[in-house]
Amino acid sequence: MKGSGLPLCLLTAVFYLFWTPSAGLKTLHVGSCVITTNLQEMRKGFSEIRDRVQAKDEIIDFSILSKSESLQDTKPADRCCLLRHILRLYLDTVFKNYQIPGHHILPKISTLANSFLTIKKEIRLCLQPQEAVVKALGEVDILLRWMDEME
């Protein structure tokens, strides 16, 4: 009977591991999407390389993302879709094209990219592909107006 306590102990440990929420995981409600991610870990990883990355940024007169606006400023129905497109921009363009100045930055960027990819996979498609094509084509006039305003 002495040996019968070990399987019960192992079963309890396994149960505890699977049913205890992981430290740092946060559930985000982004419009109609629910995402579970570790923002704390992503912030920590980025903070370790932020100064080196930002020191290379020579474009100081504008930002791609506004610090004074957020996803909260977007209509709730559009938040999930907007976040998915922003993540796709980072995954398809930023992370793929960033020229790494040192090998110590590569693992941090890779980890951050993997975190973004995990979040993007959790987000369902915003629109059906054909609906997205029709919507985008129908809004070409808005794009042309934006371009015209840049003169």
Structure tokens at 57: 């940024």
Domain 11-60+73-149 has CATH 2.60.40.1220: no
CB 114 within 8 A of CB 87: no
pLDDT at 17 over 80: no
Residue ranges per domain, the chain?
Answer: 11-60+73-149
% of the chain with per-residue pLDDT over 90: 20
pLDDT at 140 over 60: yes
* Positive or negative torsion for Cα 141, 64, 96, 32: negative
CB 93 within 8 A of CB 47: no
**23 or 6, which is more confident:** 23
CA distance 10 to 28: 33
CA distance 35 to 42: 14
120 Cβ neighbours under 8 A, 6+ residues apart: 84, 87, 88, 91
CB atoms < 10 A from the CB of 79, how many? Answer: 20
> Does this model's pTM top 0.75?
no
The tens digit of pLDDT for each residue in 49-70 reads 889 888 888 888 888 887 777 7
